Amino acid sequence: MQKHLTVAIIQTHLIWENPIQNRLNFSKKIREIRDDVDLIILPEMFTTGFTMTPHNIAETMKGNTVEWMKQMAKETNAAITGSIVLSEGNDYYNRLLFVEPSGVIHSYDKRHTFTLAGEHLVYSAGSKHSIINYKGWKINPQICYDLRFPVWARNTEDYDLLFYVANWPKPRIAAWDALLKARAIENMCYCIGVNRVGLDANNLEYPGHSAVYDLFGNVVEACENFKEDMVIATLDKDHLKNYRQKLQFLNDRDSFILK
């Protein structure tokens, strides 16, 4: 078990519905990382932007992006994660993939599809958490709109890290900042949010505000707003363990059944 987990978060512009160019752009950024990192986190739908026309660009689990993620994870000796548009049978999913250097793949399908944009009409919703055990860290990956639903993130599995990948627009960015901090505090965990920047094809602007929070809601590292940026944060398992033992707030959490 590693006491420390070093995480790189990449905040960048996305080329609309252009997986080839987005993969090339991310390859360059990932290869510029000079530190030894354990995990690299990319935004939601990092090969396309937040598109509601998946039939144009959907891939499969044997597609080019999955192979690219496996290649980059092996090359960097770090896990790579982010969500892409996946086709499976007759359904489309906003699916987060977490690819380890060994080639092992974990996945999570976005549970809360964004009804305001009609995502629920196009993509099938997931129904299960995916708690990933990686280098002795328990990690809970979630996607964008999931952030607004605290019950779905409630720390009943004693996970260490909760992260969100997103395309979260400028008009509601104050909510993004507040909810990331709240999820860290209420779940006594590290919480990371990775958002994109720039304009998409719908003329929506994304301001970034990607950041890493500790269990008190303090900012550990943060990207520069409105700009392409990358930051690296080292998470400390003993920091979590010591304060969880000292404060024991999670022992007083309410029990519930999620339907």
Residue 123 maps to a domain: yes
Domain for residue 120, yes or no? yes
Domain that holds residue 50: 4-252
57 domain-assigned = yes
Chain mean pLDDT for the chain: 97
As a whole number, mean pLDDT of residues 169-178 equals: 98
Q: How many domains in the chain?
A: 1
Question: What pLDDT score was predicted for residue 56?
Answer: 86
**Amino acid (1-letter code) at residue 83:** S
pLDDT of amino acid 230: 98
Task: Identify whether 148 is part of a domain.
Answer: yes
CATH number at residue 60: 3.60.110.10
Residues whose CB falls within 8 Å of the CB of residue 93, separated by 6 or more in sequence, listed in order: 85, 86, 87, 109, 110, 123, 124, 126
110 occurs within a structural domain: yes
**Which pTM value belongs to this model?**
0.98
Q: What percent of the chain has pLDDT over 90?
A: 98
At residue 232 the predicted structure's pLDDT band, cuts being 50, 70 and 90, is: very high
Q: Would you state the structure tokens that stand for residue 32, as one six-digit string?
A: 């510029």
Average of per-residue pLDDT across 145-154: 98
Asked if the structure places residue 75 within a domain, the reply is yes
Q: List Cα–Cα distances, 212 to 16, 165, 172, in angstroms.
A: 27, 12, 19
Residue 257 lies in a domain: no
259 in a structural domain = no
Catalytic residue numbers, as ranges: 44, 110, 144
Q: State percent of the chain over pLDDT 70.
A: 100
